[in-house]
Amino acid sequence: MSANGSPPRAIPRDSFASRLIEAVAGLADRPMAWIQHAVGGRGMAYVFLAPNILFFGLFVFLPIGINMAMSLTGGTNLFLSERPFVGGDHYRALMQCGSYLDPASCREDHFWKGVSNTLKFTLFQMVAMVGTALVTALVLNRKIRGRGFFRAVYFFPVLLSPVVVALIWKWILQRDGLLNGAITLAGGEKILFFVEPGWAMFWAVFVSVWAHMGFYTLILLAGLQAIPADLYEAAEMDGTKPMRVLTRITLPLLWPNLVVVLVLVLIKAVQTFDEVFVLTGGGPGTATLMVVQYIYETAFANQVQNFGLAAAASMLLGSLLFALTMLQLWIARRKAA
C-alpha cells in the first residue's frame, strides 16, 4: 500500500518499462539456469552469498591473515615474502616485563603505558558515559517541554567526525582557547590543559563522553520507553518512593539495554584512537597514549617501521575485542531469548 492508502500502481503490461524489465531479467535466465543445474537448488543460497563473502574475505579476513603473518615475521619490508619468520619473538617482546604493573620495567614500555592508559581511559569513560547517558535518558523520558529538541541536541555530536570533535575541543581547551579566555575573564589563571597529565586524561574522557553520549542515551531511552507505563502506575498505587521505583523497577527492567551499552562503550573505549590522538597527540609525554596509537606509531610513524611488533600488538588487542564482541553477542542473544 502506498502512503495515502491506495494500492501501489503496477507497471502497465506491455508498456515499454515492463518490456525493458522483462528483457533485462531475461538476460539472466540462461546463466542462472545453468548455475542452478551445476550447483543444485541448495547450492544456490551460497551462490547468492558468494559476492558478499568474497568482499568480506578480501577486506576483513585476508587483512587479519596478513596481520597474523606479519606478527610472526620480522624486518622492515612490507612484503611478506621478503620478511624472515621470527615465530613468537614479537609477542615475547611485548610481554617481556619486570612487573606488569610498572610499564617502565617492560621492554616495550610504550605498549604497556598504552595498555595502562587505555584501561584508565576505559574505566573512567565507562562510568562517566553510562552515568551521564542514563541520567540524560531518564530526564528525556519524562514529559518535559522541548523533549524532542533536547533529544536532537544530545544526539547531534554523534553525527560529527571524531576529528572535527577533537578539533572543536582543542580550540576550546588550548592555551589561548575559549575556556582559558573565560577563566581569565573571571579573574582566574590560565590552565595548561594539555600540559598537565591529569587534565589531559580528564579532557580526553570528557570529549569522548560529549561526542558519543547521545548514541547511548538513545539506546537507553528506547529501553525506558519499552517499560509499560502501567507498571509505574502500579508502583504509584503501591506507594513506592521515586528512588525505589528507580532501583527496583526501572533499572532491573532496563538492565538488558544497560548491559548492551556497557559492552559497546567498553569496546569503543578499548579501540579509542582518533579523538584522543587529534586532541592530545598522546601527550603530555605518554600521559594519554592509547594502545591503538602505539600500534599506529610503531608501524607507520616511527623512524624504524616495525610492522611485526605493531601486528603482534594489534593481534593481542584484536583478541581482546573479539572476546568482548562475543560477550556482547551472548548477552544480546540472551536478551532476545
Helix ranges (DSSP H) in the chain: 16-56, 62-71, 89-95, 109-140, 147-155, 162-173, 178-185, 197-225, 229-237, 242-245, 251-270, 274-280, 291-296, 307-336
φ/ψ of residue 223, rounded to 5:
-65, -45
Q: How far is the CB of 252 from other proteins (least distance, A)?
A: 5
> What cell does 47 get?
551462490
Q: How far is the CB of 296 from other proteins (least distance, A)?
A: 45
Nearer to other proteins, 98 or 242 (CB): 242
**Size, binding site for other proteins by CB under 8 A:** 17
Of residues 238 through 267, those in contact with other proteins by CB under 8 A are: 238-241, 244, 248-249, 252-253
> What cell does 69 get?
603473518
Nearer to other proteins, 167 or 246 (CB): 246
By residue count, the chain amounts to: 337
Nearer to other proteins, 196 or 230 (CB): 230
- The 169-208 contact track toward other proteins, x by CB under 8 A, reads ----------------------------------------
Scanning 76-84, 143-151, 178-186, 237-245 for contacts with other proteins by CB under 8 A, the matching segment is 237-245
Cα→Cα distances 102→95, 106, 110, Å: 12, 7, 11
Nearer to other proteins, 10 or 237 (CB): 237
Scanning 164-172, 182-190, 226-234, 326-334 for contacts with other proteins by CB under 8 A, the matching segment is 226-234
Asked if 234 is part of the footprint of other proteins (rule: CB under 8 A), the reply reads yes
Q: How far is the CB of 115 from other proteins (least distance, A)?
A: 37
Nearer to other proteins, 150 or 232 (CB): 232
Q: Among all chains, which residue has been given the C-alpha cell 506491455?
A: 14
Please say whether the dihedral angle defined by the alpha carbons of residues 222, 224, 225 and 228, taken in this order, is positive or negative. positive
User: For residues 167 and 9, what is the distance between their CA atoms, to the nearest angstrom?
Assistant: 51
The residues, ordered by sequence, that sit 6+ positions from 264 with a Cβ below 8 Å of its Cβ are: 216, 219, 328
Nearer to other proteins, 158 or 246 (CB): 246
Nearer to other proteins, 196 or 238 (CB): 238
User: For residues 220 and 102, what is the distance between their CA atoms, to the nearest angstrom?
Assistant: 38
Asked if 226 is part of the footprint of other proteins (rule: CB under 8 A), the reply reads no
Residues that bind other proteins (CB under 8 A): 228, 230-231, 233-241, 244, 248-249, 252-253
